[in-house]
A and B are shown apart, each in its own frame.
Chain A
Amino acid sequence: MTSVVAAEHQPYAAHEGLPPPPGGWRRLLYPGFLRAAWMAPLFFGIGCGIVVLCRWWGGWHPIWFGEIIVLVGALIAAPIGFLAGVGVFDYWVRYAIGAPTVPEDHTGHGAYSWRDYFRVNTDHKVIGMQYLVTTVVFFLIAGLLAMLVRAELAKPGMQFFDNQTYNGLFSVHASLMIFLFVIPAFAGLANFVVPLMLGAPDMAFPRLNALSYWLLPIAGIMMVSSFLVPGGAFASGWTGYAPLSVHQPMGTIFFNMGVQWAGASSIMTALNFLVTIITMRAPGMTFWRMPLLVWANFTTSLLVVIATPFIAGSQFFVMFDRVMHTHFFDIAGGGYPLGYQHIFWFYSHPAVYIMMLPGFGIASEVISTFSRKPIFGYRLMALSLMAILVLGFSVWAHHMFVSGMAPWLRVPMMVTTLLIAIPTGIKVFSWLATMWEGKIHFNTPMLWAAGFVSMFVIGGLSGIYLGAVPIDIHVSDTYFVVAHIHYVLFGGSLFTIFAGIYYWFPKMTGRMYNETLGKLHFWLTFVGFNATFFPMHLIGTQGMPRRVSDYDPMFAHWNMFISVASFFLGASTIVFLYNMITSMRRGEPAPGNPWRSLTLEWQVTSPPPRFNFDEIPQVVGSPYEYGVPGARHAVLNGDRTAEEVPVH
């Protein structure tokens, strides 16, 4: 029987990967960048046509109106044309009209050369890498914008940019870091790791997974290219408060639409994670045996699915107020300006946890593995994630203590905000207790994780200050807030992203990174980070305002110090890039399980086989039983045992 089947499927085994594209003009119809190159302009034209027709039919003048043409043609229709061109929709279109769909021979799955990373690929491992590389590119762009901001702030007075340009710089910096780096970088890591950890061959909806990746470069390019339009980039901060953002130059709609595309991408990914985690766990993988990274992505995905539509709504309202002259936020017309902040923060406060919970998961994996001890209080760790999820929806108005909202809202919001410190504190103490008396190996991932715990505690403490109404009123819109957000998002999210990248680098690339350079990168970043952001607490309490390009000369010395430190911090990224690029090409080949970890992704080869597992593994125990004699997480391929765990 076996031989017959093998012969039948010989053609697929003979060539690996997609068949070569057809020659001649037919190549223009083959999914890829070539087809996207003519479909995007075609759709742009269709978008323009629809606008002109509607305006002509409705009798609105002028019929050719620049801003709406840009909005509909360039920011909505052209991206859809691009997506159709690269081939994201091919299968669905054939399915929808009932045409015979291409039989799934899995040739579009997996990567055999670098070209396979530049086409629509349904393999979660390839998509994970696509996510990570794309997000690192946007991380570098956003970092360079931060350097420009610091260059302007090095001395009091105006040196390089005018006010509007400066406002654009920090707005695009923040938007890229949040929507194009932190959120999708976590999604990328999880994309690679979660199906492996669950013992699943792929995500639940591989084609949806591909679509959610391809939305990302669209959103990023949209935000970056807003610098090129008349009036400059969107300049009302990443929060884009209305009614200010309604009356900004055209760049604002690039932000509005960029957020929609990035938001759609994260909703699709989150939905995919939830379905994968619920329906595709390996036999024996009960919820209470899932690694904490999976738990973290489960809660994060719930947050994304429930909260993200609110930011979509808020950006729609701003856009409608601009282009359709509606009155959502216009007092004269009966609108309610404060509504923007309520709706925006109802997403954007949970978004803070969207940007942090996956990091908690990564830290749990790394700390347990490198301390060679079971995670302390596993169930409480999972439950505290759920507690953060629930409480996260009840604190949004603590961003609005000085906004003039109803005063009675202040105290309840303050109480729930301070309550969130409890589940977060549980997690911090669990990590400390896990490390306590462990046999700690300070490899690079562990350094980042330990650095994360210490820096996150500082950020968490300043968060408690800010949650208290009286202190918040004093330091609102000062550098104290800037310091706080960077301690939680840089010291928190970014440190855990780096921990994750170093931790799974051997698994993703099949090669080891350079440990010395990794440690050097950590220490340079750690020192540069603290030198940059710690002094901001001091000048913030003295009243240095955020989001202003000029300031009182009394802050001149500290600002010069911060700017120099930030350039040092920026330069430390070069070490990271050098390490990644050289190790990816010439690093030592990695063994399957260099960290002697118990979770499933380490029980397969590095990089993992094309379909992750030859046979779905059987899970038999907890994923963190380090140092427990005879403990096993899973049984693979019948009798082969999981990597032996040395008893210390």
Chain B
Amino acid sequence: MSAHAEAHHGPPIAHQSSRVNASVLGMLLFIASEIMLFGAFFTAYFFVRVVNGIPWPPAPFELPVFVAGINTAILVTSSFTMHWALQSIKRGNRAGLQGGLLLTFLMGLVFLLTQAREYSRVGFAPHDGAFGTIFYCLTGLHGAHVFVGLSILLFMTIRAFRGHFSPENHHGVEIGGIYWHFVDVMWIVVYSTVYLI
């Protein structure tokens, strides 16, 4: 082993001192950091809504709770198709992987487009008082995360159709999937605090 390592001037194999996969751990820590970024935005929400106590939503404005609820259902469903994709490739079912990823991507896209449509019809802008500010910044921050998640999904889908991933090697799907689940769970928090409460 060591003779081999010296011969091709490669590094010695690092000792694996934890059962956790390094990339999964990295993604979880990144998500911890992301949660704190949302935490900063929710702190601003708290200051405006609880400390300042402004009406929510203020008089002429209304929030499209129903449409956003449908949108929520779409995003939550996409978490299940994501899970289906991962389980399929774990069992070696490539068609399931491709179908699952494609469905997840499409549902995420529908969510993002609905969100954009909502922005153009909601009747207020980010500069219309602190309510508009917080609404646009929280949903916008989440939208940016959906966009990143969609990019990751797009790359996973391309790779899935080009024949990458296998039952032995599916970390690429698993790690992107963790991020997508995080985006979904975060939306449930954003939807509950901004629209429902």
Q: Which residues of A contact B (CB under 8 A)?
A: 2, 5-6, 8-9, 12-13, 16, 96-98, 106, 199-202, 204-205, 208, 267, 271-272, 274-275, 278-283, 285, 305-310, 312-314, 316-317, 320, 324-328, 330, 333-336, 338-339, 342-343, 346, 610-616
Contacts and interface: CB of A to CB of B under 8 A. Distances in A.
B109 interface: no
B5 interface: yes
A12 B8 contact: yes
A313 B41 contact: yes
B131 interface: yes
Nearest to A311: B40
Given A98-B158, A320-B126, A274 B11 contact: no
B2 A615 contact: yes
B162 A98 contact: yes
A615 B159 CA distance: 35
Contact of B43 (A267, A275, A339): A339
B25 interface: yes
Given A6-B7, A334-B52, 20 more contacts: A2-B4, A199-B15, A202-B14, A271-B29, A275-B25, A279-B20, A283-B17, A308-B36, A317-B44, A324-B127, A327-B130, A328-B48, A328-B133, A334-B54, A335-B130, A343-B40, A346-B43, A614-B2, A614-B5, A615-B5
A613 B22 contact: no
Contact of A279 (B25, B51, B155): B25
Contact of B26 (A201, A271, A327, A616): A271
A309 B40 contact: yes
Interface residues on B, range: 35 or more
B47 A342 contact: yes
B168 interface: no
A339 B17 contact: no
Contacts of A275: 22, 25-26, 29
Nearest to A618: B15
A281 B4 contact: no
A202 B11 contact: yes
B123 interface: no
B15 A616 contact: yes
Given A5-B8, A13-B8, A313 B15 contact: no
Interface in B1-38: 2-18, 20-22, 25-26, 29-30, 32-34, 36-37
A199 B20 CA distance: 19
B64 interface: no
A285 B17 contact: yes
Contacts of A324: 126-127
Contacts of A16: 9
Given A278-B25, A309-B39, A616-B15, A334 B33 contact: no
B12 A201 contact: yes
A335 to B, nearest CB: 5
A398 to B, nearest CB: 18
Contacts of B22: 204-205, 275, 279-280
Interface centre among B12, B44, B48, B51, by most A CB within 10 Å? B44
B15 A281 contact: yes
A313 B127 contact: no
A283 B15 contact: yes
B40 A2 contact: no
Interface string B143-168: 00000000000010011001010000
A326 B128 CA distance: 8
13 contacts: A6-B7, A8-B8, A96-B155, A275-B22, A275-B25, A278-B20, A313-B39, A324-B126, A325-B126, A326-B126, A339-B47, A346-B40, A616-B14
Contacts of B132: 326-327
Contacts of B3: 2, 5
Given A278-B18, A308-B33, A334 B131 contact: yes
B17 A306 contact: no
B44 A334 contact: no
Contacts of A308: 33, 36
A479 B37 CA distance: 34
A612 B20 CA distance: 24
A102 to B, nearest CB: 15
